[in-house]
Amino acid sequence: MLTAVAFTGGLLAGDRDVLTGAAAGRSPGLNTAAIVLTTVGNTVAMAALAVVVGGVLFFRGHRAEGVYLVATMGTASLVFTVLKGVLDRPRPPAELQVIRQTNESLPSGHATMSATVIGAIVILAWPHLAALGRGLATAGAVLWVAAVGATRIYLGVHWFSDVLAGWTFGLAWAFLGATFLLGHRLRA
């Protein structure tokens, strides 16, 4: 999917429509709220969340779970950074950006890291939650990840397909890491 979007412009018409629609709905108050939300959900904040939660798990005796969370976050960050360089997709035009971003666009790092870290935390919590807790955790995760990704489009720094690719990659990466964790648990 990433390659198709990067080299064929796969969702280009839809990307432009979504971005211009977001730009048309901007206001100073919404701009400020989007900047705050995108900052709280940025790659550094998501990495810090993974390290803190992973550290707590590790030092409370859940070593494999702590390592899973931190390793999944770290490898996702490394892979999406390499992908950005390889795919080298340009950002939306500067005149549509509320905050200026100039590095590569695909996949969205914010979308990738929020989906990876929040997804991994929900995966770790899942066996310990009742049905209601699972529903609330899933709903909260989806709302958070969607909101962070939406701010990237609203602020004009990503195309919709960049965010969609980030969400897809991030969640897939969290589940890939979970398969290694499950394999470790089965061997132990």
Residue 99 lies in a domain: yes
Band (pLDDT 50/70/90 cuts) for residue 183 is confident
For 84, the domain range is 12-187
Residue 80 lies in a domain: yes
Residue 9 has pLDDT above 80, yes or no: no
The mean pLDDT value for 89-111 works out to: 92
The rounded mean pLDDT for the chain is 92
Distance CA 134, CA 186 (A): 23
Domain count, the chain: 1
The mean pLDDT value for 60-66 works out to: 95
pLDDT at 12: 66
pLDDT at 25: 86
Of 6-20, 125-139, 141-155, minimum mean pLDDT range: 6-20
pLDDT at 10: 54
Q: 105: domain CATH number? A: 1.20.144
Nearest to 148 by CA among 42, 44, 47: 42
